[in-house]
Amino acid sequence: MNRPLMVAFDVSNQQTALKLAQALGPDGRGKTVKVGMELYYKEGAQILQKLQELGYAIFLDLKLYDIPHTVEKAMLQLARLGVDYVTVHAMGGREMLQAAKRGLVQGAAESGLPAPKLLAITELTSASEEIVTREQNCRLSLKEQVLSLAKLAKDSGCDGVVCSALEVEALRRAVGDDFFYLVPGIRMADDQVGDQVRVATPAMASKAGASAIVVGRPINQSPQPKRAYERYLADWQEGTKEE
């Protein structure tokens, strides 16, 4: 299957990250891990290199959101790290998204590396309808807002979006199949949802048309991460078989 189940390495330091990597298996080839703010801000690029040496593909999830010039220069540096996916906030607007893409392309070309996929954050899976309408003061419904941001991202040169499983089918119809739909907020029916609001099982996300899923606490906080990973992977693959 060429649609990855990404494991979120949302841990506080390199030692814990490498212990988790070892628990998932000594060979990371064929697996993708998400390195987010917590781990990257503590350990920097060296943790990416160590995980890459183990064979893992890297989703570097820093969710850049700043003026276009700053985002462009930041993406230029991130492209030199050899990661596979990076994120930016779609609400930064067209000019910022285009600048992000320029930075990635330039940085990758200068380093002789493939450019990472640029994924735009639509609305976080912790966001609810109330947050969007009352706190963001958005005139659109949550689903309409996600759709609008996804269209903007594609028009601005992004390779895909981060969205919940609940929006994927509508996005595929409106934005197209030639786009990458990454779905976090993945939980089994018997798992605690934590601070996630818009959640789905792996099979549900697969049937909806997700290109990839991200699983965090149910795996990285499990006493048996490999068994948890295999459980989620089986459900994800089962959903794929039923398509």
Q: How confident is the model at residue 186 (pLDDT cuts 50, 70, 90)?
A: very high
89 marked as part of a ligand binding site: no
Q: Which of 6-20, 120-134, 165-179, 221-235 has the lowest mean pLDDT?
A: 120-134
Residue 241 designated active-site: no
Catalytic residue among 19, 42, 63, 143: 63
State pTM to two decimals: 0.91
Which domains does the chain possess?
Answer: 5-241 (3.20.20.70)
**Residue 173, exposed/middle/buried by CB under 10 A (0-12, 13-18, 19+)?**
exposed
Establish whether 16 is an annotated binding residue: no
Tokens 């965090």 belong to residue:
216
- 145 labelled binding-site residue: no
Calculate the average pLDDT of the chain: 92
Which residues lie below 8 Å from residue 4, measured CB to CB, with a gap of 6+?
Answer: 31, 32, 57, 212, 213
Distance CA 195, CA 178 (A): 31
Residue 63 · residue 90 · CB < 8 Å: no
61 annotated as a binding-site residue = yes
**Residue 110 to residue 100: CA distance in whole angstroms:** 16
